[in-house]
Amino acid sequence: MTEQTKAPVALRAARIVRRRTRASVIHDANAPAIAARDLAAAYGGRIALSAVSFDLSAGAHLAVVGPNGAGKSTLLKVIGGLLPWVGGTIRVHGHAPRDHLCIAYVPQRSDVDWRFPVTVADVVLMGLTGRLGPLRRAGQRDRRLVTDAIERVGLEDRAHRQIGELSGGEQQRMFIARAIAQEAEIVLMDEPLAGLDVPSEADVLALLDRLDRTTLLVALHDLGVAAAHFDRVLLLRERMIGFGTPADVFRPDALEAAYGGCVRMVRTADGALVVHDSACPREAL
């Protein structure tokens, strides 16, 4: 992404998902939160994802895992309505993934121009844009939503700081606050833990764990985090290799199909521990 493209997006990055200002679609109460059937998507002129089928119920937390180039980001963008699909079907609460005010998309931090002159409070307020529309100013309730969301993620003392002054963990907490203020029912996060130190990672995971009524899809590299913090896992390598509980998906045959010889399973008294093989090139993971 060029600097020219990034700057106005700085917080289209934050905007979470670009939405039209007309009324959002009405959910089908009998449909899963997300349903994919033989989904295929292309990126950069090639098929990046194929044969993806799963149902995700409302409130489920799903880790999307796989090596680099596996299609994790592509899947999140398709669900968020940011990228078209080329085969199969994808439905969000029974409808195609567009005009959903309930979806919050958080991109990778590298896709954001952190020099863009906006504050934490500005970014969180942008979560209300789809509901407010371009002409209506934020009212008292809207401001209260923003303040409450910032307090919930522990950034009240950073509310009027420029976004570039935040640490990596604070930047992710800001995006979570944005989703909270938006009252999003589905949150899509692309590698939110990348580059974070251990305390910051723990803070972000604790906040995500508390979004227990929110349908959460998070692209991750760390299989241990996926097993410990998510009730469902989707394993990809340009196609779906497995979907289910971590215990169901993190089997030796499935991991070998996704990563080759770059991961191995160690059995312990408490269950199975996934271990990365340090001899493998980092780009393979």
Nearest alpha carbon to residue 163 among 153, 152, 173, 154: 173
- Average confidence score pLDDT of the chain: 85
Q: Is the pLDDT of residue 12 over 90?
A: no
Nearest alpha carbon to residue 185 among 52, 15, 27, 53: 27
In angstroms, the CA 262 to CA 125 distance is: 43
Per-residue pLDDT at 19? 38
Dihedral class, residue 261 (left if φ above 0, else alpha if ψ from -120 to 50, else beta)? alpha
Report pTM.
Answer: 0.84
Q: Is the pLDDT of residue 101 over 50?
A: yes
| pLDDT band (50, 70, 90) for residue 268 | low
Per-residue pLDDT at 1? 47
Instruction: Mean pLDDT check: name the lowest of 140-144, 147-151, 219-223, 272-276.
Output: 272-276
SS3 157: helix
Per-residue pLDDT at 165? 95
Q: Is the pLDDT of residue 230 over 90?
A: yes
Give whichever of 15-19, 25-29, 106-110 has the largest mean pLDDT. Answer: 106-110
Q: Spell out the residues 6+ positions from residue 12 whose beta carbon is closer than 8 angstroms to its own.
A: 18
| pLDDT band (50, 70, 90) for residue 262 | confident
Per-residue pLDDT at 21? 38
Q: Which pair of structure tokens corresponds to residue 235?
A: 């394993």
Contact 194, 175 (CB under 8 A): no
Per-residue pLDDT at 6? 46
Q: Quick one: average pLDDT of 75-80?
A: 95
Q: Which pair of structure tokens corresponds to residue 260?
A: 């080759």
Per-residue pLDDT at 15? 39
SS3 248: helix
SS3 162: strand
Tens-place pLDDT, residues 167-186 = 999 999 999 999 999 989 99
Q: Quick one: average pLDDT of 205-211?
A: 95
Q: Which pair of structure tokens corresponds to residue 67?
A: 């090596």
Percent of residues, the chain, with pLDDT higher than 70: 79
Identity of the amino acid at 235 = L
Per-residue pLDDT at 134? 57
DSSP notation for 176-243:
HHHHHHHT-SEEEEESTTTT--HHHHHHHHHHHHT-TTSEEEEEES-HHHHHHH-SEEEEESSBEEEE
Structural domain boundaries in the chain = 3-249
DSSP notation for 102-123:
TEEEE--GGGS-TTSS-BHHHH
CB atoms within 10 A of CB 281: 7
CA distances from 9 to 17, 79, 133, 187 (A): 11, 19, 18, 19
Per-residue pLDDT at 216? 97
User: The domain 3-249 is classified under which CATH number: 3.30.565.10, 3.20.20.140, 3.50.50.60, 3.40.50.300?
Assistant: 3.40.50.300
Contact 275, 265 (CB under 8 A): yes
Tens-place pLDDT, residues 184-198 = 999 999 999 999 999
Per-residue pLDDT at 141? 80
Contact 241, 258 (CB under 8 A): yes
